[in-house]
Amino acid sequence: MTETNRWPWLFVPSVLLVAFLTYQEKTRLELAPVATWSILTTGILIVTAGLFIWRRRPNNRCWWMISAAGFAWFVGDFEHSIREPISVFAFSFGRWQGALLAWALLAYPGGRIETRRGRAVMVSLVFLFSMRSLSRLFLHMPPDVAGYGTTNRFLPITDDRWWRLVENIFGWGYPLMMLAVLVIVSDQWLRASRPGRRMLSPALVAVASLTAIVLAETLAGWNAVVGSNVRVFQVVSYAYVVVAWSLAVGLIRLRQTRSAVVDLVAELAGDGTPVQLGPALARALGDPTLQLLPWSEAAMAYVDNLGSKADLDSFGPGRAVTRIERQDQPVAIIVHDIALLEDPGLVNAVVAAVRLTIDNADLQAEIERQLAEVEASRARIVEAGDAERRKIERDLHDGAQQRLVTTALALRLAAARLGENVDPSTRTVLAQAVKELGEALDELRDLARGIHPAILSESGLVAALESLVDRSGLPVDLEIHIPEEPPTSIAATAYFAVSEALTNTLKHATASRVKVRAVVADGLLDIIVTDDGRGGATATTGSGLSGIADRAAAVGGVFHLHSPHGDGTRFELKLPCASS
């Protein structure tokens, strides 16, 4: 809430001041203290109801109508003020609280009078009250003798017939209009469905009270009521309080209906699939007959859950259709009780919630789709890389390696053909060439194995790991339990991870013992490489270890490195492995 709309708090000191002035006035008039206190508490409670609504529903205009009614309540009490301008004003503008409360009633619950007849009644009421106030201001001629009221000093009219006419019209018109308000509100209530009635019932209490007040006032005559019986006066006073607070409580309950929307959003956020939307909406809006009909692109129509097209005109009386659209595209319609429209904010909130949910579900589906796509393509890249490595290895094997062996063999044969009668230096050169080729072959073999070990695709992970450990040049304890060959990409990841771990250990750890454990359990291939070296290994970007982490992630695995300085290193890799 911003600074600017804090000013209604001024009502608190204002109403206390007015109450104090009223108290002084009534004390001066020597009114029974019980009656005085009724007047004060009634006015204060009505203003409080208005402020209460303002605090809880700041956007609902009912709050100021009710607060104003509270202040208006006090006005009439200054009719007998010794200060003439005050008594004239009080006499002219007393009892407006009835009109203001009727206004709030008709505007309930939205804060605006939505029906034409409601507006007509309200206009009539304002007209009646204005007529009365103006005629009291300008036409009234009180009897001087009684020392009661005041002398008309604005217009030179000596005949009081006009004033009496207006008073009579008001005397009949006001209760009639109030009966009209009763009829309107009751009719609204009778036509409403269950949720509608729940919303309107406070107004029904309020309108019944207000009508009772007005009828009591009219039948008994205002002055008679006040003068004759303090008890009756108290009942009437507190009836006003009942009117104001019924509306306040009703609006707060409306707020609770709104909070059902909040619950709805929360519920949808939890597991927001549009399938569950319908029932959730029905719960949130308290309308079990509510239907959510999604738009079907294929049918070019809204369809029910059996897939048949919905006829928008077939829902009958008492049903309303609220459309949900997004970027001018139809999304769904909600078919619900028409009474829910009496609080348009509620329906708007629900529509927004549904739209958000559908947006959210769409976005989530889109993100999941993209993520799945990215994961799949990442796995494909790894697989393609492996396939490429296999191909390079095979090309080296069948090409360069084979040619080098053949060439070396040819040189060997050339030396043999030359026989004994050849320059010994030629023989040495040939022998040297064969030796060089042999070393080239060794290097090429290591290179090819580093690219992709043939044994991995030929004999599987177990043999490949054993071979790796054989060639590592490290004292390794090997524990392997892999009853079934894992998928190719998993096996390759496991192999290269162990290879990288052993390389790392050999290069950096100065370890005396290394343990390699590769065990399949519960559908996971768990690979642990530990050493007792000096630790401090990190999987920094670009390092071989971070490559292992990336590879592991690409096949849906997890890589973990624990390498405190001076306390050995532990690589752990968990890979999903269908063959458990």
Footprint of another protein on this chain (CB under 8 A)? 394, 397-398, 401-402, 405-406, 408-410, 412-413, 416, 434, 437-438, 441-442, 445, 449, 454-455, 457-459, 462-463, 466-467, 470-471, 475, 477
Is the Cβ of residue 56 or residue 394 nearer to another protein in the bound state? 394
- Smallest distance from another protein to CB 411, Å: 9
For the beta sheet containing 524-531, the strands, ordered from the edge strand earlier in sequence to the opposite edge, are: 476-481, 514-521, 524-531, 569-576, 558-562
- Alpha-carbon distance of 453 to 403, in angstroms, equals 20
Is the Cβ of residue 406 or residue 538 nearer to another protein in the bound state? 406
Give the pair of three-digit tokens for residue 495: 């192999």
Is the Cβ of residue 455 or residue 545 nearer to another protein in the bound state? 455
Is the Cβ of residue 253 or residue 394 nearer to another protein in the bound state? 394
Is the Cβ of residue 408 or residue 490 nearer to another protein in the bound state? 408
> What is the per-residue DSSP string for 152-181?
--SS-----HHHHHHHHHHHHHHHHHHHHH
Q: Give the residue from 31, 33, 27, 18 showing the smallest Cα distance to 74.
A: 18
Bridge partners, residue 321, by sequence? 335
Give the pair of three-digit tokens for residue 271: 């597991």
- Smallest distance from another protein to CB 469, Å: 8
**What is the phi/psi pair of residue 558, to 5°?**
-130, 135
- Alpha-carbon distance of 176 to 214, in angstroms, equals 10
- Alpha-carbon distance of 242 to 207, in angstroms, equals 10
Is the Cβ of residue 241 or residue 468 nearer to another protein in the bound state? 468
Give the pair of three-digit tokens for residue 423: 């320059």
Q: Which amino acid is at 338?
A: I
Is the Cβ of residue 197 or residue 445 nearer to another protein in the bound state? 445
Give the pair of three-digit tokens for residue 285: 């809006």
- Alpha-carbon distance of 252 to 61, in angstroms, equals 14
Q: Give the residue from 109, 112, 184, 182 showing the smallest Cα distance to 340.
A: 109
- Smallest distance from another protein to CB 437, Å: 8
- Alpha-carbon distance of 82 to 24, in angstroms, equals 12
Is the Cβ of residue 470 or residue 484 nearer to another protein in the bound state? 470
- Smallest distance from another protein to CB 483, Å: 16
> What is the per-residue DSSP string for 439-490?
HHHHHHHHHHHHH--HHHHHH-HHHHHHHHHHHT-S-EEEEEE-SSPPPHHH
Give the pair of three-digit tokens for residue 114: 């939505």
- Smallest distance from another protein to CB 365, Å: 44
Is the Cβ of residue 58 or residue 475 nearer to another protein in the bound state? 475
Is the Cβ of residue 28 or residue 471 nearer to another protein in the bound state? 471
Is the Cβ of residue 305 or residue 426 nearer to another protein in the bound state? 426
- Smallest distance from another protein to CB 400, Å: 10
Q: Which amino acid is at 444?
A: L
Q: How far is CA 342 from CA 19, 57, 124, 439, in A?
A: 36, 16, 23, 92
- Smallest distance from another protein to CB 413, Å: 6
- Smallest distance from another protein to CB 458, Å: 5
For the beta sheet containing 319-326, the strands, ordered from the edge strand earlier in sequence to the opposite edge, are: 301-302, 291-296, 329-337, 319-326
Is the Cβ of residue 80 or residue 390 nearer to another protein in the bound state? 390
Check if the beta carbon of residue 34 is closer than 8 Å to that of residue 234.
yes
- Smallest distance from another protein to CB 513, Å: 10
Strands 329-337 and 319-326: antiparallel
